[in-house]
Structure 1
Amino acid sequence: MNPQSDQSKAIAIGGRVLSLLEVLGLTLIAIATVIAGAQEVTEMWGRRQVTLADLLLLFIYLEVLAMVGVYLQSGSLPIRMPLYIAMVALARHLILDMKEITETEIIATSAAILILALAVLLIRFGQTRFPSSPAGHTEEQRD
């Protein structure tokens, strides 16, 4: 028996198991997101009212599904997607809790949104100015 061959087989099997677990986890996230979205739509239907907070929550669900789709298709996740989700979640927090939070919390949440937006801008600038692929393609050009 060749120990190097056994090690290569073990690594290959381990990689396949991890890939399978990754797909399973992403599938569970997608199913849970669809269920949560359906529950939100059912609540809106029952109230017979759609608020901005409802729409932002549905947008968050949609972004999570898009993020799962991108990850399944490409095997990598653009870091901007979670940043967009975080910005929408913080904006939703501001909208929902505006009457209950203090001025300091409003300023802090707004500053957090601004920091995230600046991070997205910096990442986009870096991807455009210093592309990581050998051919000089940006993230959108590779998709």
Structure 2
Amino acid sequence: MRERGFRLIRLLEYAGLLVVLIATLAAAGQEIALMYRQGRVTVADLLMLFIYLELLAMNGIYWRAGRLPVRMPLYIAIVAMARHLTLETPDMNAWTTLAEGGTVLLLSLAVLVVRYGHIRLPYRDEDPDNIGGRRS
């Protein structure tokens, strides 16, 4: 019974990954079509394409490894903040711009901390009977 539960959860994960993959490809296609219709490519467009690329990479890593590195969403958040700063800076006051720059700095520091922790304390392979790294 427990094995069926694990299989069902894995199947649902793959179904969700497939939905995310299709939606990401559709959104990237819409962004490319919009750039084509406008006849130009802006820095904001390129940053948006990088976000889609990171989402695709994250999806691929999850398909291959069965787990999601915490760094990937952090990278996506950094690029999203950079895109927002690129688009909205003229309309923001100095404190908001400084706060968003500080957010990018904090996210970057989080990547360093996670990366350092991964190097110094690497994951052990998990088996279904040892979820969460607990020892029997």
Counterpart residue number, 1:90: 81
The structure that has the greater radius of gyration is 1
Q: Which one of the candidate residues 79, 87, 95 is aligned to 1:104?
A: 95
Say if 2:61 is the partner of 1:70: yes
Say if 2:109 is the partner of 1:81: no
Give the distance between the partners of 2:103 and 2:35, measured in 1 at CA: 29
Counterpart residue number, 2:129: none
Q: Which one of the candidate residues 37, 40, 43 is aligned to 2:34?
A: 43
Moved over 6 A (4+): none
The gaps in structure 1 that reach 5 residues or longer are: 1-8, 135-143
Give the distance between the partners of 1:43 and 1:27, measured in 2 at CA: 24
Give the distance between the partners of 1:123 and 1:117, measured in 2 at CA: 10
Give the distance between the partners of 1:68 and 1:53, measured in 2 at CA: 23
- Percent of aligned positions that are identical: 47
The gaps in structure 2 that reach 5 residues or longer are: 126-136
1:110 aligned partner, one-letter code = G
Q: Which one of the candidate residues 3, 28, 52 is aligned to 1:12?
A: 3
Give the distance between the partners of 2:107 and 2:83, measured in 1 at CA: 15
2:77 aligned partner, one-letter code = A
Displacement of 1:25 after TM fit? 0.4
Give the distance between the partners of 2:34 and 2:122, measured in 1 at CA: 45
Give the distance between the partners of 2:40 and 2:74, measured in 1 at CA: 29
Q: Which one of the candidate residues 15, 19, 29 is aligned to 1:24?
A: 15
Give the structure-1-normalised TM-score.
0.83
Displacement of 1:28 after TM fit? 0.3
Give the distance between the partners of 1:131 and 1:69, measured in 2 at CA: 21
Give the structure-2-normalised TM-score.
0.88
What RMSD in Å do the two structures reach over aligned CA positions?
1.2
1:91 aligned partner, one-letter code = A
Counterpart residue number, 1:4: none
